[in-house]
Structure 1
Amino acid sequence: MTKFMLKCFGLVTLLLFGVLFGIQKAQFEMNELKSPSQENVESLINLSSVESDTESETVTSHDIKSKQETLKKIDSFNVFSALGQKLSSWISSTFSVMISVFGIIIQEMLDVFSP
C-alpha cells in the first residue's frame, strides 16, 4: 500500500511540475512574441499620427457622416448569425419552460409531503 501511495505521489508531483513548467514556458514564449511587435506597433502609431496630422485638413465631418450612413444602409445578412440567434432563443425558451415545470413539480411534492 505504501509503494502504491509513493508511486501515486511521485506521479502527481511529476505532473504538477510538468504543468508549471509548461505554463512558465508558454508565458516566456508569449513575451518573446510580444516584444518585437510592440516596437513595430509603436513605430506605426507614430507614423500614423504624423500622417493623420496632414490628412486632418482634407477630412470633414460631412464625409464621416456620409460614410456612417452608408454603413447603416448596408445590412448584410449572415445566415450563421441568424441561425445562432434563433437557436439561442429556442434553447432559452426550452430551459425556462423546463425550470418552471420542475418548479411546479417540486411545489406539488412539497404540498403532498407537508403535514
Structure 2
Amino acid sequence: MFKCFVLCSVLLFGVLIGMQQANQGMIKMRGYDDPELQSAFQINNEQKGDIEASILGNKVTGQDLQEKQEQLEKIEAFNFFSQIGKQFAAVVSNGVSALVDSFAEWMNNLLK
C-alpha cells in the first residue's frame, strides 16, 4: 500500500510538472505573457514572510493541510478492512511457512 501511495505521488508530481512545462511552452509559442494563462502551480512570498501556494488555481494554506491531517488521523484510527487484511496476511504467511517447513523436512527425510 505504501508503494502504491509513493507511485501515485510521483505520478501526480510528474503530471504537475508536465502541465507547468506545457504552460511555459504556450507562453513561448505566443511570444508574450498572457495573464489569463495560469500555471499549474504557483508559489508566492508575501511581505509578512508567509508563503502562499496555488495548485491548479486552488489556494493551499498551512491551516488547510493541518485540518486535512487531523481528519486523516481520525479516519485512520480504526479501519475494519485493514485489520481483516492484516489478519488474513498473517494466516497466509504462517500457512505458507508451515508448508515450506514440512516440505523441506519431508525432502530431508527422503534423501537420507
TM-score class, shorter = 0.3 to 0.5
Higher relative contact order (CA 8 A, sep 6+): 2
The structure with more radius of gyration = 1
> What TM-score do you get using the length of structure 2 for normalisation?
0.42
> What TM-score do you get using the length of structure 1 for normalisation?
0.41
